[in-house]
Chain A
Amino acid sequence: MTSIAVLGVGAVGARVARQVLSSESSIDVVLRDERAARLDTVARSLGEGARIDTGTYAEPLDVDVVVLAGPPGTHLEPARRFVAAGIAVVSVSDEITEVRALLDLDVEARERGVTVAVGTGFAPGMSCVLAAHAASRFDSVDEIHVAKVGTGGPACARQHHRALRGRALDWRDHGWAQRPAGSGRELCWFPDPVGAEDCYRAALPDGLLLVPAFPGVGRVTARMAATRRDRLTARLPMLWPSHPEGGPGAIRVEVRGRRGTSRDVRVLGVMDRPAVAAGAVAALTATWATQGRLRRAGAAGLAELVDPAPFLSELRRRGVRAAVFQHDAGPAPL
């Protein structure tokens, strides 16, 4: 029997466990969380196939794949230990320094022949798969621009708050440029019913995952939607308690590239509740890891690790549906 451990059963982790159990009858799930009451509630809601492990995040486990779904900042040490034990790791972290540190595990993971899938949530995660799929239509990719709106659970909301006061990383002219988070306002048009949102630079890790996947790309940027209140209060502690789960969210990925002698742009997106979509992406990544369908060993984002078309097709079957912006599909909704 194949086993997947889910470490952290918040809004995303609980969805990961549910997705795995509902779609793969041959996989059982081990749940870990520091909150015993939450762990018990989630395990009971999942029924048979899920069992509780009361160890800490970094304690050894006898499983095939570990999904790190705890709050950002808790992923690195468990990832190191499980890679050292030869166990594949799937992390949903979207914290920029943690993503960089997880990518630094690449050499050790390659040596041990295990995969560390980094940034496997909504954005990064789904955004990386959309970028890879859009890029497959081009001979070479010049620019990738990612924008997202919405948050999952409370940990995601706190990370959204922190990202607006950090430093954004833009890949520009084949080098990194740091810009103040909250700058670079841009009106981005997301799939319906989200529609248009003002988006700003933020401390987002998408570039760190996309640049290695597209050698020669000239520009990679990531923005996220924010309200005026978000931007004004970004440098303060969160003034209101986080909501249990955010509302609808969306991703927009714009890829510019060359095909033959012409240049073109392709815009893909998805609209869903971020925690639900993130859970589906991480669960499918973990399932593919157990089946040996990830492209290589080592630490990388999903743009490098998965074949985007079958991955998106399987996500579509699970209810996470991608969309393409057609420039000639009639007037845009206002």
Chain B
Amino acid sequence: MKMLRRALVALGIAGAIAAVLRVRGTGGVPPQGGGWQELTDDAL
């Protein structure tokens, strides 16, 4: 019984950590330069 409780607690903690990681995750790196320019007929 004690073992089962420990397993359930461990699973709960792992689930909570996974949920936090899924929601928060890690961010990407935005472009450090450049920008968008419209494609004109000449550029097409």
List A residues at the B interface (Cβ < 8 Å). Answer: 133, 182, 185-189, 191-192, 196, 198, 228, 231-232, 268-269, 309-310, 312-313, 316, 321-334
Contact = CB atoms under 8 A, between A and B. Distances in A.
Q: How large is the interface on B (under 10, 10 to 19, 20 to 34, 35 or more residues)?
A: 20 to 34
Interface in B1-44: 22-23, 25-39, 41, 43-44
A321 B29 contact: no
B30 A332 contact: yes
B35 A228 contact: no
Contacts of A191: 36
B43 A324 contact: yes
A326 B44 contact: no
A242 to B, nearest CB: 23
20 contacts: A182-B22, A185-B25, A192-B36, A198-B27, A228-B23, A231-B22, A231-B23, A232-B23, A268-B39, A309-B44, A324-B37, A325-B34, A326-B34, A326-B37, A327-B31, A329-B36, A331-B35, A332-B31, A332-B34, A334-B30
Contacts of B37: 323-324, 326, 329
Given A133-B44, A187-B29, A232-B23, A321 B38 contact: yes
Given A182-B22, A323-B39, A329-B34, 6 more contacts: A187-B27, A231-B23, A323-B36, A323-B37, A326-B36, A331-B32
B19 to A, nearest CB: 8
A188 B36 CA distance: 13
A326 to B, nearest CB: 5
B36 A324 contact: yes
Which label, helix, strand, loop or mixed, suits the secondary structure of the A interface?
mixed
Interface of B: 22-23, 25-39, 41, 43-44
A330 B33 contact: yes
Given A133-B44, A313-B41, A196 B35 contact: no
A330 B32 CA distance: 9
A186 B35 contact: no
Nearest to B40: A316
Nearest to A334: B30
Which residue, of A268, A269, A326, has the highest number of chain B Cβ atoms within 10 A? A326
Contacts of B38: 321-323
Contacts of B30: 187, 189, 196, 332, 334
Contacts of B36: 191-192, 269, 323-326, 329
Given A185-B25, A187-B28, A330 B34 contact: yes
A333 B35 contact: yes
Contacts of A313: 41, 44
A259 to B, nearest CB: 17
Contact of B35 (A133, A231, A316, A332): A332
Contact of A331 (B29, B33, B41, B44): B33
Nearest to B28: A187
